[in-house]
Structure 1
Amino acid sequence: MSKLKIETGSSPAGERFSITVTEEGPYLVYGRPPLAEQFIMPNESNESWYFQQGRLFSTEAEPTAICRCGASHRKPYCDGSHEKANWDPRLTARPDALLDDAEVIDGGTLQMTDNEKYCVFARFCHPHGDAWTLTEASDDPEARKLAIREASMCPSGRLTAWDKETMKPFEFRFEPSLGLIEDITIGASGGLWIRGGIP
């Protein structure tokens, strides 16, 4: 078995946590991490600004089977609907790391890495001037603060802000947990947000 690759700035979850993506069925979640709705909430300008936790769901079953096909009548749990649903179960996740082929945006006191192919359109990168422009203007303390915030809010990891002096990334630290993203600013359901280093 190949050694688990951990992204720079990330820490692995404890050994009990893992997720298996079955070839033609659900996600199988091990370790009983908390699972809750996470709503993308807007600021006064109706731009994505923060996450608000919604309902909690049990993960006491070991493993907990989470719907991957979208047809379950017991979402977020799998109810076997994938066996009759018209869906494409092919695995499409990329094997490359977030920093592979990432563009580097250079600014005064920050750099930002941007791997566009990982974008999930959560739009946290746009309030108060976009994260790219803010990074370029990061000699200004307010621009620096906003650039770090906007890059760090990205749930996919597409964007990461780096301190140019230490070359260390700014990342939120999450306990191992799962989020079901709901975007109320556009009225859409997102995906499964895996946090805290769960492999």
Structure 2
Amino acid sequence: MATLARHQFTVLDAAGNIVPSAHVEVRKEVPGQPLAALYADRLGATPLGNPFDADAEGFAFFHVEGGAFQIRVYTGPSGAPTFEAPLFRWVAIGLNAEADTIASRTQRVVTAAGAVTVTADDADDVIIRKTVGAATAVTMPDAAAAPKRPKKIVDGKGDANTNNITIAVQIGQTMMGIINGTYTIDGNGGMVELTPLPDGTGWY
């Protein structure tokens, strides 16, 4: 096996106190979010459980094939934890783990009629190419739950001048600085690239 990437951290509570022997669960940031294969060494010779436990000083580390991951830290039963740290989303581990290149972007083509809901783990580019042309309402995901990378909404049918694509945010969030605002693609072949705000309150 190729040399694996290492990730390490110390588990702390909100007050900055060490949390000893906390459980650490690592999932891949892909649809379905499966558990990642973890190892105790760089060569992948010693498998590590998933979840696994931090040590008595709250220190945790693992080795994994590079990519983007979701890391959950908690104590007690998984379904009813006595302590749980905020969920770490889209943690990039390894060289070029989250390289922002065109080749690495994913696409979803929408051909079915009706409104379109973009989920937090949806494709990077959502292309509206309906079999039968019609105006389309698109709803963006919660900006706080979405990965901090742009999503593109694209008129793939080339008829947005007639069949507008109207993009809305979750209630209470902002679009281009406007609470509950919308953005309309009204030019044929048009597109918009939206990025979640760092504080998770909306899109710009």
Given the two structures, how large is their TM-score scaled by the length of structure 2? Answer: 0.25
Q: Which has the higher helix share?
A: 1
Structure that is richer in strand per residue: 2
Which structure would you say has the larger RCO, counting Cα contacts within 8 Å and 6 or more residues apart?
1
Between structure 1 and structure 2, the one with the greater Rg is 2
